[in-house]
Copies of this chain bind each other. A is one copy, B any other.
Amino acid sequence: MITSTSNQHMKQLRELISKSRARKKAGCFVAEGLRMVSETPADRIEELYVSQSFMKSAGNLKDLPLYLGSAQIVEDRIFRAVSDTMNPQGILAVVRMEEHSASDIISARSPLVLMLENIQDPGNLGTMIRTAEGAGAAGIILSRETADIYNPKTVRSSMGSLYRMKIAYADDICAAEEQLKAAGIEVYAATLEGSVPYTSPDYRKPCAFLIGNEGSGLTSGAVAAAGRRVRIPMAGKLESLNAASAAAVLLYEAARQRQLPGA
């Protein structure tokens, strides 16, 4: 049993939880909580940790991951110190990252793509990954300055979609837009100026939505590279919708037009 925060594994966990750089270096991130660990593909779990209390009560758990036998047990107090959450459930896994490229996403049949430029809120980002899966998107392309998809808050709010969506970081978001356009994908920038209502275009064709930073929106370069512009009409005195809400509205308008199975 691990009984000290100065244990090498615990130090490494703290680094993986708190530092994007440590995650990139290790090629791993931390998934915490029973739900998230249960959603993790078994072959991507590198290490598994459970608290002493979790292990004791594990017999009562229905959704128990099969591979719990390989778990290392951590004293409750140490688990709490290492965990990213206020009330840890007592289970976390170190998970191997999976790399995707924009090409993987483009190659889908009649793709619907979400492109994000400089989204900063990790919770918002996770919510968008979740919505993109729901709307049937082929994948998500992110500018380098966008929050880290492996931030613990993003992992949590993606509710497992992180494991199932193809997500690629683009060094140059404008170049990625050009790449999509060259592949016959229309890129629609969500912006107020010079735009048409988002309900006008035909999204049954291959298409991508480009959404910008929560505070400052899209850069002019990214808008220019998109070619097409759409706006979400707003009643009242609102300046904009929350970025994740805007993504939901746009992606589900495309899903509506494409008649998602079950619709």
Contact = CB atoms under 8 A, between A and B. Distances in A.
Contacts of A242: 127, 130-131, 157, 159, 244
Contacts of A241: 130-131, 134, 248
A163 to B, nearest CB: 9
A123 interface: yes
A245 B238 CA distance: 17
A37 B42 CA distance: 49
Interface residues of A, number: 41
Interface in A136-187: 136, 157, 159-161, 164-165
Contacts of A157: 242
A23 interface: no
A63 interface: no
A10 B157 CA distance: 35
Interface string A12-45: 0000000000000000000000000000000000
Given A130-B242, A135-B234, A199-B263, 16 more contacts: A130-B245, A131-B241, A131-B242, A131-B245, A133-B234, A133-B235, A134-B236, A160-B237, A161-B238, A165-B236, A233-B261, A233-B263, A235-B261, A244-B244, A245-B247, A245-B248
A221 interface: no
Contacts of A256: 199, 253
